[in-house]
């Protein structure tokens, strides 16, 4: 079994070195990564299946944390990281979560249950954190303005959604004449915004588990109100999925993978 090479730790922002530009200003440069292995990636992607039965084998905590660290490296909107992952390990809470997942086999047999949460209430704090975490010196004005002015304007919906509504009207009017970013203009659209980035992180998590020899099943068959109560989630948190994870049992997959003809989904225009 592959184990994480090093204990999980926060990734640092310092990867490359500053290089000179024409104007004499230093510009960040990150070297092109060493050769990657497409076959290894393909093996991970192709062997991932939704597993409905797991063995009793636990997932070592360092492996699970390494997979979660990889989840947190997912691309995300404006680097606002609108996600949270809850490892539900307290026996009583886990039991309640299995029940809230309607006692599905995947949930019942999972070594680990991870609740994937999308947050629409953290973007202001995380915008400030982007400025605090800015590597190496002065934050460029463009970046500062983006996080202090544009982000609050783009994502705030105002009391009773009035600001969102107004932004929608103005944007649609100006949008007749030039390209405009169309939203989010309501709480529902803001939720979609958070769920997009969070789901990418969830996929990273499932692929990382596979890469370490473990398996997963994403589940939306659960009682969201009950799970939110169990975790005491704040308003502005929604749950795109619960991920069951563990070691695949021999009878863990119910049927061969079915995908339709790519011509139905892939278009060249």
Ligand X SMILES: Cc1cc2nc3c(=O)[nH]c(=O)nc-3n(C[C@H](O)[C@H](O)[C@H](O)COP(=O)(O)O)c2cc1C
Residues at the contact surface with ligand X, assessed by CB under 6 A: 49-50, 52, 104, 106, 217-221, 241, 257
Please answer whether residues 111 and 246 qualify as being in contact, where contact means their C-beta atoms are separated by less than 8 angstroms: yes
Q: Which is nearer to ligand X, 76 or 198 (CB)?
A: 198
The residue whose Cβ lies closest to ligand X is 221
Q: Which is nearer to ligand X, 151 or 195 (CB)?
A: 195
Q: Which is nearer to ligand X, 115 or 217 (CB)?
A: 217
As measured in angstroms, the least distance from the Cβ of 241 to ligand X is: 5
Please answer whether residues 226 and 201 qualify as being in contact, where contact means their C-beta atoms are separated by less than 8 angstroms: no
As measured in angstroms, the least distance from the Cβ of 258 to ligand X is: 7
Q: Which is nearer to ligand X, 32 or 257 (CB)?
A: 257
Q: Which is nearer to ligand X, 28 or 254 (CB)?
A: 254
The span from the CA of 225 to the CA of 29, in Å, is 46
Q: Which is nearer to ligand X, 52 or 248 (CB)?
A: 52
Q: Which residues pair with 116 in a beta bridge?
A: 85, 241
Q: Which is nearer to ligand X, 218 or 246 (CB)?
A: 218
As measured in angstroms, the least distance from the Cβ of 199 to ligand X is: 8
């Amino acid at each position: 079994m592959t184990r994480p090479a090093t204990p999980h730790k926060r990734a640092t922002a310092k990867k490359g070195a500053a290089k000179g530009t024409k104007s004499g200003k230093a510009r960040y440069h990150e070297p092109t990564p060493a050769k990657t292995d497409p076959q290894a990636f393909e093996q991970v992607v192709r062997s991932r299946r939704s597993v409905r039965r797991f063995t009793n084998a636990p997932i070592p905590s360092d492996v699970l944390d390494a997979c979660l660290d990889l989840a947190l490296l997912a691309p995300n909107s404006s680097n606002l990281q609108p996600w949270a992952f809850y490892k539900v390990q307290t026996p009583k809470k886990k039991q309640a979560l299995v029940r809230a997942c309607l006692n599905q086999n995947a949930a019942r047999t999972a070594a680990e249950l991870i609740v994937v949460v999308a947050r629409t209430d953290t973007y202001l704090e995380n915008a400030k954190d982007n400025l605090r975490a800015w590597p190496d010196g002065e934050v460029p004005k463009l970046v500062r303005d983006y996080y202090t002015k544009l982000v609050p304007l783009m994502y705030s919906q105002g009391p009773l959604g009035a600001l969102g509504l107004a932004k929608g009207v103005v944007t649609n009017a100006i949008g007749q004449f030039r390209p405009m970013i169309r939203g989010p203009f309501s709480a529902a659209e803001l939720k979609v915004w958070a769920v997009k980035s969070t789901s990418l992180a969830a996929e990273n998590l499932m692929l990382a588990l596979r890469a370490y020899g473990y398996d997963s099943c994403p589940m939306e068959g659960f009682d969201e109100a009950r799970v939110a109560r169990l975790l005491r989630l704040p308003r502005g948190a929604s749950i795109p999925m619960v991920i069951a994870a563990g070691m695949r049992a021999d009878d863990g997959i119910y049927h061969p993978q079915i995908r339709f003809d790519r011509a139905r989904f892939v278009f060249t225009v």
